[in-house]
Amino acid sequence: MHFVPFSYAIDLAGTFAFGLSGAMVAVRRQLDLFGILVLAAATGVAGGMIRDILLGDLPPEALRNTWSLAVTCLAGVCAFFFGPLIERLNRPVMLLDAVGLGVFAVAGCQKALAIGLNAPGAVLLGMITAVGGGVLRDVMAAEIPRVLREDVYALAALAGAALYVAGLRMGAQEPIVAACAAPLSFAIRVASVRYGWKLPRAPWS
Amino acid sequence: MHFVPFSYAIDLAGTFAFGLSGAMVAVRRQLDLFGILVLAAATGVAGGMIRDILLGDLPPEALRNTWSLAVTCLAGVCAFFFGPLIERLNRPVMLLDAVGLGVFAVAGCQKALAIGLNAPGAVLLGMITAVGGGVLRDVMAAEIPRVLREDVYALAALAGAALYVAGLRMGAQEPIVAACAAPLSFAIRVASVRYGWKLPRAPWS
Amino acid sequence: MHFVPFSYAIDLAGTFAFGLSGAMVAVRRQLDLFGILVLAAATGVAGGMIRDILLGDLPPEALRNTWSLAVTCLAGVCAFFFGPLIERLNRPVMLLDAVGLGVFAVAGCQKALAIGLNAPGAVLLGMITAVGGGVLRDVMAAEIPRVLREDVYALAALAGAALYVAGLRMGAQEPIVAACAAPLSFAIRVASVRYGWKLPRAPWS
């Protein structure tokens, strides 16, 4: 608990962003304080838990280490008190979600490679990690998951994860690659919403 | 199979209660006999499976040991034949759900501590174990999970789990602590429904 | 990667069938190309992932081996271009789903027995494996899972799994048993839709 390595700090930043996005959804649904904390924790922690389960690193970090839980509770309390301030941002849930998306895509890849998964498996795991928290948030709030509703969502996570793995393969330094890959996912996601990017639909539909 | 230790007996009691709650939901939705058995099994077994997955104790107890399955099938058959009798209780699904909630909160903590998780992790795992079965039941029956709809739900599980961990830390005997903690969760949950307890909503909403 | 054993080839066939069923649901919902690939991958891969998680064989085969992912992408691309051809089949999603159901019921049993689970646990795991992919597909597409809507669904998976375990216990050769058990599940499922088989409902409902 005394020493927080770099990869774990990344995890915490993504956890906070996803936690805040979950808390804001809970606030909009007029859930009570504990409901906000539960949805913040579920959203913030789910992606990492799914990653740790799939990699067989059990019990998952979120249970062994009190920091993740503290961070999501902090996110919940922030949303509870400063909701209107956060709401004044343009599309705050989308922005926070995009931060979490980029961070977790990289964090998932990182750990997958460390455990010895091959490149396609690591990219896939990065995407699952990035998308997992948001899917749980939307399913629990009885909405159709964003990953299916929106055109460029999982694709943004995939791009970041692919850049991360490709960068490492080409011999670049890990922190530099991470510092490019996570913002790439974020930028693609936000730009796709801002400019209304569409992907092709089935030619005959 | 010849010897059922105390902690496993607790598991079975919670499994039966949750199984019966799932079966009653299935009966109300007019599912057929096999649908009742499936929802009873899913509800009864899910919490423990999630716990075992998160603790890395795989394959989970529910697959290694035939008793859990037998107990949920028994719950399903009871609901199939004696549904009207059970229905005559006041809010039977809520009561059964509350029993399962208390039992699994303690069972989750117990196993988490045994595997060496720290106190906050054990309390969190207890809450996840308690809430998991009901979430799966509600999601499969296409309802918004009770844990988000109701004010005092996860909080009741949390209280039982916290009392259990705190009691052990203060040196009390394990069976006595368990015998206080599970009823505490049950009592808080039932009282909150009976007296309509509310938690604070966001101050500005 | 050079050598694909028999049990893995079975997995791939089921993965393709489930992947195609997921892709056809995505096409009907007018999702874009990437949404089709995501739902194809989720449906095709989920059953096997759940199986590997429950058996503690982590990271799951679908992440270690690039073939599963390639096969589901192929299924997505087929649906994208040849959707109308597939649609001309009578109830294509149901048929593909039934193929996946039979294949995964057997594949789940197989691996469970190999890892040393007892007979009831292996049958249960087979059923969970068979049903898992379709449940995730339906939940992500915001439909009530087929396993609850339809009368003979999990029961068909159960029949195949039970025949597989019973056949092996009676000393039959593994490939022969598998070649009987998977088609049995498929046949029961398709016949139940074709002839409208119903299971008993609660006597008092």
Tell whether the model's pLDDT for residue B93 goes beyond 60: yes
What integer pLDDT is reported at residue C196 of this predicted model? 87
Judged on CB neighbours under 10 Å (0-12, 13-18, 19+), C66 is middle
> In the predicted model, what is the mean pLDDT of residues B157-168?
94
**Residue A64 is nearest to which of B121, B154, B201, comparing CB atoms?**
B121
**Contact state of C53 with B53 under an 8 Å Cβ cutoff:** yes
What integer pLDDT is reported at residue A156 of this predicted model? 93
**Contact state of C117 with B63 under an 8 Å Cβ cutoff:** yes
Whole-model pTM: value is: 0.85
> In the predicted model, what is the mean pLDDT of residues C194-198?
87
Rounded to the nearest integer, the mean pLDDT of chain A is 86
Beta partners for B201?
Answer: A32
What integer pLDDT is reported at residue A6 of this predicted model? 64
What integer pLDDT is reported at residue B3 of this predicted model? 47
How near does any CA of chain C get to the CA of A99, in Å? 21
Interface test with C, best of A109, A153, A205 (most C CBs within 10 A): A205
Q: Which residue type, as a one-letter code, is found at position A13?
A: A
Confidence of residue B5 (pLDDT cuts 50, 70, 90): low
Residue C60: both structure tokens together:
């799951």
Q: How remote is the C-alpha of A67 from its chain's centroid?
A: 17
Q: Which residue type, as a one-letter code, is found at position C180?
A: C
Distance in angstroms (rounded) separating the CA atoms of residues B42 and C127: 12
Confidence of residue B7 (pLDDT cuts 50, 70, 90): low
> In the predicted model, what is the mean pLDDT of residues C74-102?
86
What integer pLDDT is reported at residue B158 of this predicted model? 92
Specify whether the CB–CB gap between C133 and C154 falls below 8 A. Answer: no
**Contact state of B148 with A140 under an 8 Å Cβ cutoff:** yes
Tell whether the model's pLDDT for residue A164 goes beyond 90: yes
- Between C22 and B151, the more confident residue is C22
Tell whether the model's pLDDT for residue A188 goes beyond 60: yes
Confidence of residue A5 (pLDDT cuts 50, 70, 90): low
What integer pLDDT is reported at residue A205 of this predicted model? 62
Confidence of residue A12 (pLDDT cuts 50, 70, 90): confident
> In the predicted model, what is the mean pLDDT of residues B7-17?
79
Least confident of B80-94, B154-168, B180-194: B80-94
Residue with tokens 């689970």: C117
**Contact state of A202 with C79 under an 8 Å Cβ cutoff:** yes
List own/partner pairs for A180-184 with CB under 8 A and 24 or more apart.
Answer: A181/A102, A181/A105, A181/A106, A181/A109, A182/A10, A182/A102, A182/A103, A182/A105, A182/A106, A183/A102, A184/A102, A184/A159, A184/A160
What integer pLDDT is reported at residue A1 of this predicted model? 38
> In the predicted model, what is the mean pLDDT of residues C145-174?
87
Interface test with A, best of B113, B124, B129, B139 (most A CBs within 10 A): B124
3-state secondary structure of C105: helix
Tell whether the model's pLDDT for residue A4 goes beyond 70: no
Residues in chain A, overall count: 205
Residue with tokens 């593994």: C174
- Between A65 and B126, the more confident residue is B126
Least confident of A34-38, C40-44, C125-129, C191-195: A34-38
Q: How remote is the C-alpha of B183 from its chain's centroid?
A: 12
Tell me whether C183 touches chain B (CB under 8 Å): no
Percent of chain B scoring above 70 in pLDDT? 95
Q: What are the pLDDT digits (tens) for A92-138?
A: 778 888 988 999 999 899 999 998 898 988 998 999 899 888 888 88
What integer pLDDT is reported at residue B10 of this predicted model? 72
Alpha-carbon dihedral B144, B148, B153, B155, rounded to 10 degrees: 160
> In the predicted model, what is the mean pLDDT of residues C140-156?
78
Confidence of residue C191 (pLDDT cuts 50, 70, 90): very high
Distance in angstroms (rounded) separating the CA atoms of residues C153 and B34: 9
The gap between the terminal CA atoms of chain C, to the nearest Å, is 54
Contact residues on chain A for B112, CB-CB shorter than 8 A: 59, 63
What integer pLDDT is reported at residue B137 of this predicted model? 86
Q: How remote is the C-alpha of A154 from its chain's centroid?
A: 11
- DSSP string over chain B: -----HHHHHHHHHHHHHHHHHHHHHHHTT-BHHHHHHHHHHHHHHHHHHHHHHHT--S-HHHH-HHHHHHHHHHHHHHHHHHHHHHTSSSHHHHHHHHHHHHHHHHHHHHHHHTT--HHHHHHHHHHHHHHHHHHHHHHTT---HHHHSSSSHHHHHHHHHHHHHHHHTT--HHHHHHHHHHHHHHHHHHHHHHT--PPBPTT-
Residues in chain B, overall count: 205
| H or E segment to which residue C78 belongs | helix C66-87
What integer pLDDT is reported at residue C126 of this predicted model? 92
Q: Which chains touch A (3 or more CB pairs under 8 A)?
A: B, C
Rounded to the nearest integer, the mean pLDDT of chain C is 86
Confidence of residue C123 (pLDDT cuts 50, 70, 90): very high
3-state secondary structure of C160: helix
ipTM tops 0.90: no
Percent of chain C scoring above 90 in pLDDT? 32
Specify whether the CB–CB gap between B159 and B185 falls below 8 A. Answer: yes
**Contact state of B205 with A27 under an 8 Å Cβ cutoff:** yes
Highest mean pLDDT among A142-156, B24-38, B116-130: B116-130
Q: Which residue type, as a one-letter code, is found at position A103?
A: V
Closest chain A residue to the Cα of B152, Cα to Cα: A34
**Contact state of A205 with C59 under an 8 Å Cβ cutoff:** no
